[in-house]
Every structure is written in C-alpha cells, then in structure tokens.
Structure 1
Amino acid sequence: MTDPVAQDFWAELRATTQARIGLGRTGDALPTQRVLEFRSAHAAARDAVHQPLDAQALAEQVEAVGLGRPVVVTSKASDRSEYLRRPDLGRTPADLSGVPAGNAEVGFVLADGLSPRALTDHGVSLLSALVDEFGGTYSLAPPVIATQARVALGDHIAQALGVQTLVLLIGERPGLSVADSVGVYLTHLPRPGRTDADRNCVSNIHPPEGLGYELAARVVAGLVSGARKLGRSGVELKDTSRADALAAPSEILEL
C-alpha cells in the first residue's frame, strides 16, 4: 500500500511539472490509474500525428487575422503515411504556382508538421499575437498554409513569396506529456538549401501549460529584429529577451 506521506510529497511535486514522477506502485506494478493515463497520453500523441489538417477551415480563420486570404500548398508527400515514411518529400513542394510573388519583408507559413492538431489549436491565435507584436514595423506577405510539411518546405515557399524573413509556425512532434505544441522557426534570407544551423527556433508554445502566445511573439519579434540587423539568422543570433543584463560576447548580437 502507498505511504500517505510519500503520496502527498509526490502530489505537490507533480503539480510543478508535466513529467511523470512519483507514480507509485501496486505490488510490483504501476497502479491501474497510472497505466491508463499513460495509454491515454500515448493514444493522444498517435492521434495528433495522424489527424489530418482541415486546411480550408484553418484558412477561413487565418483570413480573419487581416493579412489576406491564405494560399494552401502541399509537399510532394501524397498522404500522411508517405509523409511519415519519407521526410525528404515533406521538404519539397508539389506546386507553388499559386503562391503570390512580392517583395514583403516578412512572410508567414503555417505548417501542419508532426501535429496538425497543434496548428488547429494554437496557429491562428499565435499568428494574431505575432502580427500585433510586429505592430506595423514590417511589410507582411499574405500567409501560406502548408500540409504534409517539414520545416525546410518553408524555404521554397519563402523564395516564391519573395520575402526577406520567414516565420514558420509548425506542429511539433507530440510527446507523452504534450500533443499540441507549436514551434516557430525563423529564417532570414530563406532559400532552398538552408540548414537548421541557419534558423532560430522558439518551441513549446501551447498555453496554458507551455509558452504563451504573447511571450512567444515577443521573443520572435526580437529575433526578427536581430536577424535583420545582423544580416542572418541561426547559430550566431541569440535570444536575450528574457536574459539578465549580462555582457554578451562581441560576436553575438544583443537584441
């Protein structure tokens, strides 16, 4: 039988984290409740990966943000199964002829990634927070919604849009604690062939447990400003928006 004092101790700690700690035991096994919780979380993660994105419904919500009617594009992955088996196809566009070319400073891509559910739950609210945070500082291209998409697909879309800086919102890989987290990838001067070293990422966006929309937007806005001053994004660009006032190395741009 579980010690009531130990149970109370772990209950207090569990309130501070989404990790599975202090699960207890029944004989030499986990309690039935903990086993069922694990199976439920595993099922939610699997569902988040396989659930298709309703791109048209999302497009209507995105249009209400005020950046224009979004174009929907897809990768060369023909379906979800192929997308999961062939990451390379998720990085290559099937057809970008409908993407409007321009010369805006910043472009947005909303990609389903490995959790379409995350984009459905948080994509529009996060996009709205980003637009509000930019506050008219930059010219913004019409948004693009990408399905069966990996991060690098955004480079092709950005090149077609003609934007200087790409902000890509994408559903992150679901875990057993969170199945609907969004990541934001920033690429300055995007083009096909860019690597992860050329990007900055703000992850774990899923209020109320994860990073909130407004705070995430402030971090992204700081990174966009820094990238445009530095002339590049990636490993040389650091987020100091939440850091203490410390002297930064001379080679690192302080935002």
Structure 2
Amino acid sequence: MDRRPAPDPWADLRAHTAARIALGRAGAALPTHELLRFGLAHAQARDAVHVRLDPAALAARLQSLGCATQVVRSAAADRATYLLRPDLGRRLDADDAQRLGQAAAPGGCDLLLVVADGLSSLAVERNAMPLVQAIRAQAPAGWTLGPVVVATQARVALGDEIGALLGARMAAVLIGERPGLCAPDGLGIYLTWQPRVGCHDAQRNCISNVRPEGLPASAAAARLWWLCREARRLGLTGVGLKDRSDAATLDAPATPGAAP
C-alpha cells in the first residue's frame, strides 16, 4: 500500500507568485519557517523606508552615464519629518528652489527626469540607474532631456515644482514606491504634462513596479516614451490619457521575415 503523502496541489501555484499562499499550519499557528520569512520581509520593508539614500553617490553614477545632474532636497528636514509631514515632501527647500531657478536652460526641455527616494531608497539604489539608462537609450529623435534631478525626502508632487523651475514640458518622477512584504524595491514612474505647483494626481500617469521581478527597465522605458508621445499629441496626462502601449505593441506590423 502506497503511504506516500499526496502531492501538494498548491505547489505549482506557489512557483508562479511571490504572494503568501497556502502557508500551512502547525496546530492553530503558522509554521515556524513561515513566521521567520514574514519577520524578514517586514524588516526589509521597514529598512527600505528608513535607510537614507546617498544622493551624491547616485549623482556620480548618473554622471558616468553622461547625465548632467542636480541634487535637491524637499522642505522636510529629516526622515522623521518627511514621514509625519507629507506636505513638506511636496515642496522644495527654499535655497534649492532658488538655485534651480537660476540653473534653468533657455527653452527648457521636453522631458525632465527626477529620481526621488520616496518611500523606498532601496528601490532607487537597485533600479534607478538601469531605468535612466533605458530611458535615455530609447529617447526619440528630436526630444530634449533636461538634467537628471536627484531629490531626497521627496513626494511625487515635488516634481511639479522642479519641472516648473526648469521649464520642462513634461516631468517623470522615478520614485521609490511604498514597500510591500513581497516587494520592498519597487520603483514607480509618475508622468505629468506641464508640471507646476498645484497639480493633482488625476493629472498624472503612473507606471508601477519597475524592477527585474516586475516590469523590466527596458519595458518601462518603452511604456514611458509611448505615454510621452501621446501626451504631446493630446496636450495632457492623467485620466484623459489611457495607457494603450500594450495594444500598440500587439498592433505593430510584423518584422519582415519573422515567423507568423
């Protein structure tokens, strides 16, 4: 008589997701190894929020790609203030605002990239460089890019003030997303047409979960440029601009000689 345990019907599903499913139990509690995994994930999420980004080091790495850079900070003086006062994370430090205004190039730029720590410095450390590199590599002919602005203690709306000061027609804020227990390093992209102080979230398009295990940098860059082209055509971003980049890829003509 075969006394081997029946195969776990959840095993195949667990192989395809990082979500915590079918964890099992030990009596009325979780198994010890699952409890330890949860504790580790929780600690990694907390670290992602609290660990400080080194803006000078990031700016130096961006300069190695050929990017001009500016380093700024928000009006939140430290991390504790940033977490307690979201409003301060949406406005520039007064001295940095003055300096950026003086650095604006005549004519501005078509797209300004703002790399912001947000709620996960880990996301920026791991994913900002390959994403900026992919965005620059896929830039359409004739589009001008401004300097890459590295911002600390930053919320998404900080890009509005930065973009306005530097005369950007569009601003893309590459920001660390709120970490989850499965993904403490997700990077988000928030695109805003004609950024200015007072813009609200309905005026933005978001590309989320940019990381190797989520949306790869090259795919995120392609989606961003699709949105940029449509934003220029329509003169807006946000709820009036629907992301149909996947459909555009499917509808593209086949490469000559490619298999049907």
Same fold by TM (over 0.5)? yes
Per-residue CA deviations over 1:116-142 (Å, capped at 9, x if unaligned) read 110011001101101111144411111
**Pairing of 1:89-100 with structure 2 (within 5 A):** 89-94=88-93, 95-99=96-100, 100=103
Query: What's the RMSD between the two structures over aligned residues?
Result: 1.5
What CA distance in whole angstroms lies between the structure 1 residues aligned with 2:104 and 2:87? 25
Structure 1 letter corresponding to 2:46: R
Question: What secondary structure is seen at the aligned counterpart in 1 of 2:109?
Answer: coil
In the alignment, what sits opposite 1:22? 22
Residues 1:63 and 1:136: Cα distance change in structure 2 (over 3 Å):
farther
Per-residue CA deviations over 1:166-203 (Å, capped at 9, x if unaligned) read 11100000000000000000001110000000000000
In the alignment, what sits opposite 2:138? 133
What are structure 2's unaligned runs of at least 5 residues?
Answer: 252-260
Per-residue deviation, 1:17: 1.0
In the alignment, what sits opposite 1:239? 243
Per-residue CA deviations over 1:74-120 (Å, capped at 9, x if unaligned) read 01111111100110110011032232212111111000000011001
Per-residue deviation, 1:4: 4.1
What CA distance in whole angstroms lies between the structure 2 residues aligned with 1:115 and 1:5? 42
Per-residue deviation, 1:12: 1.3
Per-residue deviation, 1:10: 1.7
Residues 1:186 and 1:4: Cα distance change in structure 2 (over 3 Å):
farther
In the alignment, what sits opposite 2:258? none
In the alignment, what sits opposite 1:253? none
Find out whether 1:226 has 2:225 as its counterpart. Answer: no
Alignment length (residue pairs): 241
**Pairing of 1:1-255 with structure 2 (within 5 A):** 4-5=5-6, 8-68=8-68, 70-94=69-93, 95-99=96-100, 100-102=103-105, 103-207=108-212, 209-243=213-247
What CA distance in whole angstroms lies between the structure 1 residues aligned with 2:197 and 2:191? 14
Question: What secondary structure is seen at the aligned counterpart in 2 of 1:164?
Answer: strand
What CA distance in whole angstroms lies between the structure 2 residues aligned with 1:5 and 1:93? 60
Q: Alignment identity in percent?
A: 49
Structure 2 letter corresponding to 1:101: A
Per-residue deviation, 1:241: 1.2
Per-residue CA deviations over 1:42-92 (Å, capped at 9, x if unaligned) read 000000000000111100111122222x11100111111110011011001
The 10-residue stretch of structure 1 (53-62 or 129-138) with the greater mean CA deviation from structure 2: 129-138
Per-residue deviation, 1:11: 2.0
In the alignment, what sits opposite 1:250? none
What CA distance in whole angstroms lies between the structure 1 residues aligned with 2:216 and 2:141? 21
What are structure 1's unaligned runs of at least 5 residues?
Answer: 247-255
What CA distance in whole angstroms lies between the structure 1 residues aligned with 2:37 and 2:142? 46
- Normalising by the residue count of structure 2, what TM-score does the alignment of the two structures yield? 0.89
Larger Rg: 2
What CA distance in whole angstroms lies between the structure 2 residues aligned with 1:138 and 1:13? 44
Residues 1:90 and 1:4: Cα distance change in structure 2 (over 3 Å):
farther
- Normalising by the residue count of structure 1, what TM-score does the alignment of the two structures yield? 0.91
Per-residue CA deviations over 1:19-43 (Å, capped at 9, x if unaligned) read 1001001111110000000000000
What CA distance in whole angstroms lies between the structure 2 residues aligned with 1:190 and 1:29? 51
Residues 1:204 and 1:4: Cα distance change in structure 2 (over 3 Å):
farther
Per-residue deviation, 1:243: 2.7
The 10-residue stretch of structure 1 (99-108 or 211-220) with the greater mean CA deviation from structure 2: 99-108
Question: What secondary structure is seen at the aligned counterpart in 2 of 1:97?
Answer: helix
